[in-house]
Structures are given as C-alpha cells and as structure tokens.
A and B are shown apart, each in its own frame.
Chain A
C-alpha cells in the first residue's frame, strides 16, 4: 500500500490510543534521561494527565458514527467507545493509586517503569476493545498480559511479588496458548482473521465436522480467556497473584484487566460464534445459544467458588481476590443470559464494579502499606481511627454486597432482569446468584464488624495521601450517585450508544 492510502485513513478516531502511546513513550524517555535524584512521581502525574486527555478526546469522539480503518482491523463503534471509557477511567484511578503507593521496600527505583507499563497495558486493552481483527485482538491481549506480568513482579526485591508474577506468567502463557489454539481453528475454517468476514463465511457453514471444530475452538477460547476474567475453570491463579502483586497492580488486574477480558470475550463470542450455526440444518440456532448452558454452568461454578472460599480468608487482598472472582461470576451471568440488555447490563455493572472495587482497593492499599501486614484485623477499629474512611469502605462493601442505595444493587437488579426476561428464563442461575450473594454477606460484613465493632489496635489517626483521597472520594460519590440516580448512567448509555446497534456492521 502506498502513502495516499495510508494518509487517507481517518486516523483521528485513534486519537485516544495515540495519546496513550505518546505519553507512554514520553515517560519511557523521561525515566531514562531524568537524573536519579528526581522523584519519579511527577511521571505518574504526567501519565494521569495523558489518560485524562485520552478520556477527553474519547468523549469528543462519542458523537462519531461507526468507522473502521486499516482494512477493518481497527473499528470505532459504540461498543468500543463505551468500554474504552471504562478502561480509561479505571486506568486513571489505578494511576492515582500507583502514584500514592509507598510500600516498605522495592519500588522506588522502578517507579518510572511502574507508570509507563500501566500505560502500555492500558493501550493493549484499548486496542482490544476496538479491534476488528483476530490478529490485532491477540496482539492487544498480549500487550496487556505481558505488561501486567512485569507489573505484578515490579517489586523485584520482594519474594511474594516475584512469585506472584512467576505464577502469572506461567498460567498466562498456558492460557494464551489455549486461546490461540482455538483461534487457529477458527481461522482455519474461515480462512480469514477479520471478525466480520469470519461471521459472514460462518453463516454458510454446514459441515458438521467443521461445526464441531468451531465448538472446540469456542471452548478453547472461552477457557483461555477465562484466565483474564479469573472465572472458573481458570480462576485459581487470582488469589496468589492478587496477594503478591503490589496493591495498585492488584487493583488494575481486578478491574481494568477484567474489563478487557470481558471486552474481548464479547467481541469474539458475539461476532464469531453468534453467527455460527449449531448444526448442518440451515438457519439452526447459533452455536453460542447452544452452549449457553455451559456458560451458565461456568458462571454458577465461579459464583459458588468465589463466595464460598472467600468465607475462610484472613488476608484482605486474598479476600478481595475471591470477591472479584465472584463478581466476575455475576458478570458471566450476563453473558449466559444473552438478553437484549446484555451490553447495557455489562457496561453498567462493569462501571459500578470499577468504582466500588477501586475505591475498596484504595482503602486497602492505605491500610496495608502502613503496617505491611494484610491481615483483616488491620481494619479493626477503623471507625474510631478514621470515621470517614470507615464509612467510605462501608459504602464500597455494601455496594459489592449489592445493598440498595448503591450502584452495585442497580447493577445486580439489571442482571436479574436480563436473566429473567429471556425465554427460557434462567431461574436456577438467578437463584444461585442471589443465594451466593447472601453467602457473601458473611465475609463482607465480617470486614464491617472489624471496622465498626472491634476495638482498634493502635489509635493514631491515618493521614490520607491526595491521590488516594481523590480516588476514594470520587468512587464513593459515584457508587452512591449511580445507586440513587442510575438514570444518569442509563440515559447516557441510551443517548450515546443507541443500544450498540452498530456492533455487527
């Protein structure tokens, strides 16, 4: 291809990506050439401004109609816009956490890398969210993964950190291989890597063998990607990695990386497998609908495992690892039910989850990095030491537990609605979800008990770094706001993304 074609592309729709890319490069160079004496935190703030700029440019693109460039490898549709927004906001918060992350040892000399690796990972996630081609999808995924491997082990001197990243790499590698294997079959049957072309050619699929191969591919991709979501059966790495990784990274993994995982899964599943027939009979039900029950089963398993095992956790980060496994399970319910509200529900719940979980992690980071210990008892008497913090934490926990008045509740409500509105309604799945939610009360309110009922170990007040302060404040506000006036979010959704109708075009 020559220069004209290259220039003819409407690069402007990639502005957010370019901004992130640019900032990442900038940070790299700065980190390289800045004297060691200079505090690297400034890089963090630059990175943050970069993200905010990206958000701004993305918002300016909201009105922009669906468009795809580079031979349809990069597409900007409502789906991409909507979920990129989530990614960016999440990344912004994570960045703030990272800025005010002061563990005992092992971070100071790598601070710079810390920040631009976050940006790199974010870039990967963003590419995924708006890639229309298997290859870019895969590359984005790997960009995200590899950066996060390093991030998990960023505290070089810290054994747990190393171990966490090692486990992450190994499991990640396996998952990548499995995913890729599945993808290779898909490619083999369709002969193209462009998602929409695949869809078209798959519609004509009649050979039962090929269909079964597609089934295999589906499961391989599903299981491979369930690593990113940390859902059954590929969830077991999460607790160890979450525990060992630096708290901001944990937050990143549990929110941004999870979101990215859902993005890619929806992309592939909905485009490719939703258009795959499930038998040689013409216009039989889509393969995806056929395997609905399998996904439902995985969702149920995830919810049960996450919530039940969480009951026994003493380490707060492990606890939240399991809690986030459970939350991922709730999100799988959305996929399993495949109602008309699927995208809205997914988007709203991911958003709510973003706020409540990041807020919680901000507080966890604050509490744990003071003493280095991550035992739940660290929260004892928090209400006495810092009432505001305690109340904020209470808000996040209530939201995670899905108590009315919080965004979490509306999200759950929305999920139930979707799961029950379809035909046949998923009564069992919903019942399991609600039952496990009740089980989750045990450990969520266990933290409450620590904060409000138990006496504090030491009485000295906790001082709140600016970064964390912003995160906690904004998240708490948002959690309540979307709990009390969810229409804000839904109206925004309906106005800007007209129910993701341009997803398939």
Chain B
C-alpha cells in the first residue's frame, strides 16, 4: 500500500509507449494496453485487501511553493479510494480486453489504446488524490481523456460536435469546482481533505461560506456526472466507440462527480442547504432523464439517459446523507451499466445499427449477449436478488429517512420508468421478429463475451456485500472510524422495499404488454405533443442554442464592432488629423516668397504684442 502510487503509472506507461511507438506495432498494442491495465487491477486488488487489515495510508511531497504556501502532491488510500481503485481498474481492464475485439481492424487502433491508457491513468490518479488541487488536476485530465475518446472518429461531424460539447459543458462545471476550491483554500489555508474536514469540524468556517463552496464544488460534480442542467453532453457523448461509453460514460468518469461529493461528504453534511441542493438536483435528474429515456430509439442513447438518471439516484442518496447508499449504488451501477453498454456494443457490433426500431428477435441469434443483457436489465430495474435491487433500495430508504418525502416519491416513479424503458429496450431488441435483414448477424468473439460474462456475474452478486439480510459489510467498512460519514446502514420502514419491488415489476409488466405481447398500442403516450417533447429531450439543447450561444455570438460581434470602429477608428482618426495638418501646412507653402516674409513679420508682431500685454509693460 505504501506504493499504491504505482497503480496509475501502468496505464500512463501504456499511454506514453503507445503514443510514441504504437504506430509500429499496430495490433500488438492491444496486448500492451491489456497487460498494463491488468497489472494495475491486480495491484489495486492487493491494495484493497491490505486496506481491510491496515489503516488509511497517506504520503505527500511538496509540488509547488508560493511564498510561504506549500502545495503538495501525493496519494491516499482510504476505504473509498481503495474501492474505487478496484472498480475503475477492473472495468478498465475488462474494457481494454473487450475493445480488442470491438475495435478490431481500426487503423488507429494504437491511438485508441493510448487514449484508454491516458484516461485510466487520470481516473486512477483522481481516486488516489489526497487533496482538492490534485483531484482537480486529474479531474481535468479525465475530461481530456473522455474528450479524446468521444472524438475518436474525428472525421465524423457529430463526433467533433459531441467532443466539443462534452469538453465545454464539463468545463463550465469545472470552473465552479475551481472557484469553490480556491475559496475554500483561502478559508482553510490548505487543499488537503483532512485539513478541510478538520476546519469544518472545528467550525472555523462560516456556514454561508461552507454552503457556497459546497455548492460551487457540486457544480463541478454536476458537470462531470451529467446532472441537470449540464447533462446534455452525456447522451451526445455516445458518438464515441461503445466500449468507451461503457468505461467512461457509465462506470467511471461520470461517477467521478458522485465520488467527489462522497469524498467531500463531511463538507456537504455541514450545510443542510448544500445537501438539499444535491438531493433535489439528483432527484430531478433521475426522473427527468428517465422520462426522456422512455421514448428514445437509439440503443446507446437509452442507456445514456438511464445512466444520467442512475447518477441522479446516487446524488439523491448523498444529498439524503446516504453516504453508503450512494457509494454502494455507484459500485453496482458501475458493474451492470458497464455490462449493459458492452452488451449493447456487442449487439451493435453484430447488427451494425443503433436504431432499436430496426432490431428485434436477436434473442435466438445472440445466445450469449442476450442473457447477459437481460441480467443487466434486471439489475438496473431493481428486480429482487440482483445487485441493483439492494443499492436502489438503500437509496430509497435513505431518502425517506432523511425526510425528503417528495424526492422519495419522485425516485419511486423514476424507478418505475427505469424498469419500463429498460425492458422496452430489451424487448424491442431481442424479442419478436427482426425488423430488418439480420441474416449476417452472429455472436461476438470470446474476447468480447468473456468480459461481459465477468460483469454479468458481478451484476448479480455485487449486491450481496451490503444487504439488510446478510449484513451490511460494505457499509460498515466504508464508515468505520469516520463518524462524519454517518452509519453503515440506515434503518427504514420495510414497506419501502416492497414498494420498490412492485413498481419495478409493474414497469416490466407494462413494457411486456406493449412491446412483447403487443396487447397495448405502441403509441401508448397518446398525446403526440408529449411524445415530441420527450423525444426532443425537452428541447433543452435548442434552448441553450437560443440563449447562451446566441447571446455569446451577439456579444462577440458587438465587441468586434467596438474593435473596428472605436479602437481602430480612434487610431485612424489621429493619423488622419496629423496628415491633414500636414496637407494644410504644405498648402500654405505655395512658393510665394512674400508670404514667407509676411508670416515671419506676423509672428514677430504677435510675439511683441503678447509680450507687451502679458509682460506688464503697458502702463
């Protein structure tokens, strides 16, 4: 554990190596990526196991001195970090492997792996960071990695737009985070997490300041985790290769926002307002994204919106002081959402389309992918005995226990939506007859299926590390020795669990009626307008286009005119005046010698008169 710092270096190595020499060893570059990511995964596991037995470890060195301020860089391994390490490195490793099949034959294969390496490095660095500054640094680098991978197919206009959007949207959040952390710094005099917590605990910071900074930092989380209103980039980010979506936009990076809030949990708990904000935003995002998910027809977009809504769940959990619930759901979600994306990838790989309207009846064709996709769907829908069930249950309990009744019911509805649209997706893809020519379709190679299988297993079992029945190991472990994080397990009325189960089953049943049994008409939404609103994601993008973008453009133009007419014009004016004076003067030199004499005489006269008048010689 003393040298956990080595974990991020493996992927970094792979990045550097591939970026410089990748071109030479084409396909082989995959193995480098896979091996190195495997290495960091193994190492993370070791760290995790070591962590069970030994206390938090932290090591730092001075990075930059500003006068008497010393900014440090280092790493820390506490429960949360250790857990995140494992999740990230595992998913990363699986995606590395999976990609070997999925990206097979792409002529920029090595670049792809290099980017993956860069991203993994950043993500691991992020989870190891012991202080806000370092977190911010890796936070940005993670964004860079995601930006690069979204724009991997750079020649596609959409990819370009999506990458740009992702970068800028998250950047907006990041500035919030930056401001927040700097303000916090001048309050605390340090970026170190524990010193911040100490200051908060000591109450040396005014509550308003805490609220302000907490919310600003949360803005950063909103940007990264695609929370409302900065969520629009995440669905577009699906332009990237599917495995990337699995890694970055499902399991790891988007969860970074949640992680950040979790990591700064004591700061948030110190301000009820901040907590409330987090919870509200979370709940709104959950229901909002889920509702959009109901009608999308692009397999990846549906998953993307489900991701957004699940992240909303996690925020809701944290906002309801449900530290464990949030982290727990983060973990389970990482597994089953990664699984779903990989499965979707495998489907796309097979049928070469993302439009679910064109799919159908793939159950028979994709013997491995189908069941795995089903497992993922069940897990996310919160069907009992699957991992999602337990974590979602925790969240609902937390929300209820914290007294956010409204938010609680919103979450419940969201759960219903989730179950419904996920199974809508499942049925439309796998059941019934194929709605287009599917003759060529065949199952993906083992290199792709095996990672899915592993994730499938995890999607089932991961829930059992923290259950009301067999004990809340995860919770107890996460919270041990840190009261600020709340209890390992929050007690809640048992009916919540039943309600949750019922709604999810209801959703599934409804979806089955409509899309499998077809006993209900498909345009169940009746009102076309409603459908359009949902289908166009509440016209949020258009709204931004109309307001922010337009205003900025206008303002730029305005300044442009200032530049051309005021700034430039002033200069032109002056020079024109000077040369005008010159013209005047030279007109005067008209070669008439007597005028020259006259000028001299007049000059003399003026001097004498002025002298007489001002000199005081006239009496």
Contacts and interface: CB of A to CB of B under 8 A. Distances in A.
Direct contact of A and B (CB under 8 A): yes
A156 interface: no
Contacts of A222: 607
B591 interface: yes
B595 A236 contact: yes
A167 B617 CA distance: 36
B595 to A, nearest CB: 7
Contacts, number: 91
Given A209-B617, A234-B596, A294-B607, 6 more contacts: A174-B600, A232-B603, A234-B600, A236-B599, A290-B615, A309-B586
Interface stretch (B46-54, B542-550, B574-582): B574-582
Contacts of A305: 585
B64 interface: no
B578 A291 contact: no
B604 A170 contact: no
A226 B607 CA distance: 13
A311 B578 contact: yes
21 contacts: A166-B593, A170-B594, A174-B600, A174-B601, A175-B600, A178-B604, A212-B612, A216-B608, A223-B600, A226-B600, A233-B599, A233-B602, A234-B596, A240-B591, A278-B615, A291-B611, A294-B611, A308-B578, A311-B578, A311-B579, A312-B586
Nearest to B588: A236
B364 interface: no
A305 B583 CA distance: 11
Nearest to B593: A167
Contacts of A291: 611
Contacts of B588: 236
A171 B597 contact: yes
Interface in A285-334: 290-291, 294, 305, 308-313
Contacts of B612: 212, 215
Contacts of A174: 597, 600-601
B607 A212 contact: no
Contacts of A215: 608, 611-612, 615, 617
Nearest to B611: A215
A219 B607 contact: yes
Interface centre among B594, B599, B617 (most CB of A within 10 A): B617
A209 B612 CA distance: 11
B603 A233 contact: yes
Interface string A41-81: 00000000000000000000000000000000000000000
Given A174-B600, A175-B600, A311-B579, A239 B607 contact: no
A173 to B, nearest CB: 9
A219 B586 contact: no
Contacts of B581: 308
Q: Which 7 A-B pairs have the closest CB atoms?
A: A233-B603, A236-B596, A212-B617, A309-B585, A234-B600, A167-B593, A311-B582
A270 to B, nearest CB: 19
Main SS at interface, chain B: helix
A439 interface: yes
Chain B interface size, under 10 / 10 to 19 / 20 to 34 / 35 or more: 20 to 34
A240 B601 CA distance: 19
Interface in A180-229: 208-209, 211-212, 215-216, 219-220, 222-223, 226-227
Nearest to B607: A219
Nearest to A443: B582
A450 B603 CA distance: 37
Contacts of B582: 308-312
Nearest to B581: A308
B440 interface: no
B604 A219 contact: yes
A452 interface: no
Interface of B: 578-579, 581-583, 585-586, 588-589, 591, 593-597, 599-604, 607-608, 610-612, 615-617, 619
Contacts of B597: 170-171, 174
Contacts of B585: 305, 308-309, 312
A239 B589 contact: yes
B611 A219 contact: yes
Interface centre among B583, B593, B595, B611 (most CB of A within 10 A): B593
Nearest to B591: A240
A305 B597 CA distance: 17
Contacts of B599: 233-234, 236
Contacts of A312: 579, 582-583, 585-586
A293 to B, nearest CB: 9
Nearest to B610: A294
B593 A170 contact: yes
A223 B604 CA distance: 6
A213 to B, nearest CB: 9
A233 B600 contact: yes
A277 B604 CA distance: 21
B589 A309 contact: yes
B578 A223 contact: no
B572 to A, nearest CB: 14
A168 to B, nearest CB: 9
Interface centre among B588, B591, B615 (most CB of A within 10 A): B615
Given A308-B578, A309-B589, A220 B617 contact: no
A234 B579 CA distance: 22
A175 B593 CA distance: 13
A439 B579 CA distance: 10
A490 interface: no
B578 A439 contact: yes
A237 interface: yes
Contact of B589 (A178, A236, A278, A439): A236
Contacts of B610: 294
